[in-house]
Structure 1
Amino acid sequence: MAERHLPLLALALCALSAAFLGWHLRAPFGFILELRATKLAALICVGAATGAATILFQTVAMNRLLTPGIVGFDALFVLLQTLLVVALGGVGTAQIPGAWRFVLEAVFLMAAATALFGLLLRRDASDVTRMILTGVVLGVLLRGLASMVQRMMDPSEFAVVQQAMFASFGRVDGGPLAAATGLLAAALLAALRLAPALDVAGLGRGAARALGLDHDRVVLVSLMLVAAMISVSTALVGPITFLGLLAASLARHLTDSHRHAVLIPAAALIGALILVTGQFLFERLMGSQSALAVVVEFFGGLLFLGLVLRRGRQ
């Protein structure tokens, strides 16, 4: 049974989390544990949300090569950081309280995603391909606009923007973490409740409607959940494009299941495991603070190329 892998994944996550918290723990114990617990919570939240969101996105797009980042979340986030620095300066941007900055970024990303999904699919949800292609084009446009603005910036201010262009788990603000955790947990629970409908939606629009499923509503609800999870996780730590593809691909391979009640929690657990394991190795054993996002993107990109080449040979 595919379900037998879920307790093993949960047990592995608990064991790694304990190692992450307790490895070489020294005085002052309370202060260090608080810092580590904040970072651990962010790792688990971002990994779980990204993995689950990718499963949902691949199902509604009917394509296992895609990730939510393809519709331009990362480009929009970088543009937002660029405009903030241009408007307020590097010092002014740094002085924005963490909670207010998180709310601003999350609301802006969710509003943009809702506008994209809602406007392009307002009549029906049959043309998901057009929505994805529009997102790709908008992503290219936003990256070009951000790059143009960055070329006119002062080098010290560009350094502030450059720091925000990559996901960082070393600068997680504990203030908005509780709100982000609550939002992501609610979105994950909603995705699990939607799992039976997603099993049917995965058969295709025609077959799903023949079986009595309101396919358009399921697609729109799924995309709203994807927007919420990716927006909140991006606002929390920054953009990380290929983590979801890694988690979703490993979940499908490990469980060998097509049931979303298994795939969604499996991808969530694997996404969290990837981040917790990577951060533990780089931070605790190798003494590096910033390599995790780069390594995840590297291996995720290799996996994407491998999947594309394998599908091309088929």
Structure 2
Amino acid sequence: MEKNMLKKFLGISIIAGILFLAIIFLFYDSDMDFNYIIPHRMLRLATIIVSGICIANSSIIFQTITNNHLLVPSVMGYEAIYLVWQSLLILLFGTASIPFLGSLGIFVSSTIIVLVYALALHKYIFPLCKGDMYTFLLFGFIISLVLITSSQIIQLSINPGEYSVLQGMIQTSFNRADITTLVITMTIATASIFIIKNSLRILDVIVLGEYHAKSLGVNYSSYLNLWLVIIAILTAISTSLIGLTAFIGIFISNLTYSLTNSAKHKHILPLASLLTILIFMITELLVEHFFNYKITVNILVNLVCGTYFFLILLFKKNHV
């Protein structure tokens, strides 16, 4: 009973923190400009919320099916293929690709590229692994390294001016989305979250491992395929919406596990989503009002989360 009260108090506290930061985010230094500044900030706030939910759910579910708390979907190369695509756009079309495609065109094309890549992995690579998740992860890791190297080769052919534009396209940013992009993202994310919500008990069983899941009557292969598709969709839309996020998934998931001390996904997933939103809001406020845009959200998030990841590897080997 006491644990349930603590969990409720924790959840309420985080929600209160988010609401407080949201008010600051919307109205601080805005001159109460409801014609441009506040509507624009509302769009950014919605982007933070949607991307936070997508990243939290995809990271937690990926760790559930891999039974490893130090892995995130980017290990499969989803972010790497996004990086290659953005680099190719700049190489082939230069900075003209931005006004030509627009934010919606870049978002849609990036999402399609990531999903096609994920489908290719699922259709051609996964069957070769004969259901062995660890072999599949190894394939993904190797392909990810190849794609990152390919993007670096492409970037060497880009002139310095266009390279700086490319850096702006791949850094984590909540300023890219327009209302149309956000509506599309929210629709896809809502459908995915609905599927997840209706399968929370299955996730609780799958976390026990393949053998135990099958012995309890779960169609492990079918659900594994479903979760891989959901993860690919959530990762594709979050990456296309805000850019590369790297270590945030590891940081959020392990922090959530520590705070909830529970294996039930009905507790883990909502808290992870709230924590991701909270951290994104804190970093965005720091970048905007404290650092005055001298650093990016990507740098700040990766610094904190990368340090936490290092400490996990160093002191908490039991998390693996």
What is the TM-score of this pair, normalised by structure 2? Answer: 0.91
* Pair 1:125–1:29, CA change in 2 (3 A): farther
Q: Deviations over 1:216-267 (max 9, x none)?
A: 1121111111111110010011111111111111111111111011111111
Instruction: Give the drift of 1:167.
Output: 1.3
* Pair 1:28–1:14, CA change in 2 (3 A): closer
* Pair 1:6–1:45, CA change in 2 (3 A): same
Hey, what's the Cα distance between the residues in 2 that align with 1:133 and 1:289? 37
Hey, what's the Cα distance between the residues in 2 that align with 1:92 and 1:271? 31
Hey, what's the Cα distance between the residues in 1 that align with 2:59 and 2:97? 35
Hey, what's the Cα distance between the residues in 2 that align with 1:178 and 1:145? 33
Unaligned 5+ runs, structure 2: none
Instruction: Give the drift of 1:296.
Output: 0.7
Hey, what's the Cα distance between the residues in 2 that align with 1:13 and 1:117? 37
Partner of 2:73: 68
Partner of 1:308: 313
Instruction: Give the drift of 1:18.
Output: 2.0
Hey, what's the Cα distance between the residues in 2 that align with 1:81 and 1:307? 32
Q: 1:87 aligns with which of 92, 106, 126?
A: 92
Alignment of 1:284 with 2:289, yes or no, is yes
Residue identity over aligned pairs, in percent, reads 24
Hey, what's the Cα distance between the residues in 1 that align with 2:294 and 2:35? 21
> What is the SS of the residue equivalent to 1:170?
coil
* Pair 1:67–1:313, CA change in 2 (3 A): closer
Figure out how many residues of one structure are paired with residues of the other and give that number: 314
- CA RMSD of the aligned region, Å? 2.0
Q: 2:38 aligns with which of 33, 38, 45?
A: 33
Letter in 1 for 2:20: A
Hey, what's the Cα distance between the residues in 2 that align with 1:311 and 1:127? 26
Matches within 5 A, 1:1-314: 1=4, 3-4=7-8, 5-122=10-127, 126-288=131-293, 290-312=295-317
Instruction: Give the drift of 1:290.
Output: 4.3
Hey, what's the Cα distance between the residues in 1 that align with 2:219 and 2:129? 11
Hey, what's the Cα distance between the residues in 1 that align with 2:162 and 2:296? 23
Hey, what's the Cα distance between the residues in 2 that align with 1:176 and 1:24? 27
Unaligned 5+ runs, structure 1: none
Pick which of 304-313 and 175-184 moved more.
304-313
Asked whether the 8 Å contact 1:44–1:276 carries over to 2, the reply is: no
* Pair 1:210–1:281, CA change in 2 (3 A): same
* Pair 1:44–1:19, CA change in 2 (3 A): same
Hey, what's the Cα distance between the residues in 1 that align with 2:57 and 2:43? 21
Asked whether the 8 Å contact 2:81–2:113 carries over to 1, the reply is: no
Instruction: Give the drift of 1:117.
Output: 2.7
Letter in 1 for 2:307: L
Asked whether the 8 Å contact 2:53–2:277 carries over to 1, the reply is: yes
